[in-house]
Chain A
Amino acid sequence: MVNLLKASFLALSIFLVACATPGKAPQSLYDEIGGQPTIEAITDNFINEISFNETIYRYFEKTNITRFREKFIEHLCVNTGGPCTYTGDTMLRVHQGQNINETDFNLTVDLLVNAMKKAGLTYPQQNQVLKVLVPMRGEMLYK
């Protein structure tokens, strides 16, 4: 049985290494998830999710939704490697003064995940989008 465990550990290790090695030329995450139409669908779903969530909506009460939609699309596009330019404010400036707590931040992550799911992203694609956004958390939380 020790051998079985050793064998399975080895198998998992090989699997992990194999998966970590890209086999073909890297395609941008932007293209992989379906480009601009998908980015727009995620954004519209996200706005919809927020508007139906009392806790999170109160952070957006004074938000110009048209502007938010435009800048959020640019933001997602740029960060997934798409051919866009971000013309909005820094993440710090956007979130400053809201004093966003950890619970509400994580709840918003859940809303974004729902938005991505409804836009047809697979679980691995959702994870990769979150991965590129995660480093910005420091500029959003408790500011």
Chain B
Amino acid sequence: MSKSVIKVVAMSCLVLCTVPTMAADGKILTTAGLSQVEGSGGGGLVPWATLAGYDSRDETSASFFITDVNVTDYRLTSIGVATSFYDRVELSYTQQTFALPASLITGLSLDSEDIKQDVVGVKVRLYGDAVYSTYPQVSVGLQYKQLDSDFVASYLGAKDDSGTDIYIAATKVHLGAVAGYNLVWNLTARATKANELGLLGYGGPDNTSYQVMMEGSVGLLLSPNWIVGMEYRQKPSNLSSVEEDDWKDIFISYLPNKNLNITAAYVDLGTVATKKDQTGIYLSMTGYLW
């Protein structure tokens, strides 16, 4: 993790911990969840049905997040903002920077060592409240993604440099379900053409149409402020030139108040663009502005 990112995170923590009156606080602590790597409210890898803020149905909220995924040969940084309106609609914008290893940069004679992508997300809550309703909270969403440059994507055989993922997510908190502790689970079905989140383009020689991928999360609230859990994200494999694996993680999140959350995870991304066994550390922080 670069020094500048650490500085930003440290400063944000400081500001948010000392200014406790700014955030929308109509929801119960932890029910805003975390920030997902593509900017939607969720877990870390998987978008959830919960919206990215503590707004109740009479409030609005805004948040920003930084996520840094540092694996064996790659590093992905996501920085974004999200707003949520009346616990109904969530809008998000995220920029992803995917740093490539030197061997790939020289091998492909790239003029940039990063692949950058913008993601615009919209999510609408259709039904329920993850804590209170009998059935799980259900939301639908989409993530429109656009690569800054299609050089690597087209070199690998991807069809497009932009794409839209469409998902439906269900999230439920079961109070006192596990020896009195609260259990949360989420299940998401995503229609996508994206190769490695779209960082390697959309579609490819092996497949050009939408495929439905399943994503899931399960977590346990150890206290009002601590959650441990794991996630699984199924991925398509559209490019014959480079293999793509499903992603997994084990996470621990600390949510001291409704202004801040911090997550650390161990991620296993499998093979990413010819590099095997991409494992490493995922760090993420969300700050809630109001």
- Chain A residues packing against B (C-beta within 8 Å): 1-2, 5, 8-9, 12, 15-16, 19-20, 101-103, 106-107, 109-110, 113, 122-125, 127-128, 130-131, 134, 137
Q: Are A123 and B58 in contact (CB under 8 A)?
A: no
B: interface residue count bin: 20 to 34
Q: Give complex CA distance A5, B245 in Å.
A: 14
List B residues 58-99 near A (Cβ within 8 Å). Answer: 58-59, 87
Chain A residues with Cβ below 8 Å from B28 are 106, 109-110
Chain B residues with Cβ below 8 Å from A122 are 180
Q: List 19 A-B contacts (CB under 8 A).
A: A1-B279, A2-B248, A2-B268, A2-B270, A15-B178, A16-B183, A20-B178, A101-B26, A101-B56, A103-B58, A106-B27, A109-B28, A123-B180, A123-B181, A124-B179, A127-B181, A128-B180, A130-B175, A131-B176
Q: Which residue of B lies closest to A101 (CB)?
A: B58
Contact of A124 among B181, B248, B268 (CB under 8 A): B181
Besides A2-B268, A101-B57, 4 new A-B residue pairs in contact (Cβ under 8 A), listed by A number:
A5-B250, A16-B178, A20-B177, A130-B176
B256 within 8 A of A: no
**Given A127-B181, A128-B180: A102 and B175 within 8 A (CB)?**
no
Chain A residues with Cβ below 8 Å from B268 are 1-2, 5
Q: Are B59 and A124 in contact (CB under 8 A)?
A: no
Q: Are B176 and A127 in contact (CB under 8 A)?
A: yes
Q: Give complex CA distance A46, B74 in Å.
A: 52
Q: Give complex CA distance A73, B58 in Å.
A: 31
Classify the interface of chain B: helix, strand, loop or mixed.
loop
Contact of B59 among A15, A103, A130 (CB under 8 A): A103
Q: Give complex CA distance A134, B268 in Å.
A: 38
Chain B residues with Cβ below 8 Å from A125 are 180
Classify the interface of chain A: helix, strand, loop or mixed.
helix
Residue from A12, A102, A122 whose CB has the most chain B CB atoms within 10 Å: A102
Chain A residues with Cβ below 8 Å from B176 are 124, 127-128, 130-131
Q: Are B277 and A1 in contact (CB under 8 A)?
A: yes
Q: Give complex CA distance A2, B177 in Å.
A: 28
Q: Give complex CA distance A94, B58 in Å.
A: 23
B218 within 8 A of A: yes
Q: Give complex CA distance A19, B25 in Å.
A: 32
Q: Give complex CA distance A1, B249 in Å.
A: 11
Residue from A9, A101, A122, A127 whose CB has the most chain B CB atoms within 10 Å: A127
Q: Give complex CA distance A2, B277 in Å.
A: 9
Q: How distant is A53 from chain B, measured CB to nearest CB, in Å?
A: 13
Q: Which residue of A lies closest to B278 (CB)?
A: A1
Chain A residues with Cβ below 8 Å from B179 are 19, 124
Chain B residues with Cβ below 8 Å from A19 are 178-179
Q: How distant is A114 from chain B, measured CB to nearest CB, in Å?
A: 11
Chain A residues with Cβ below 8 Å from B224 are 113, 123
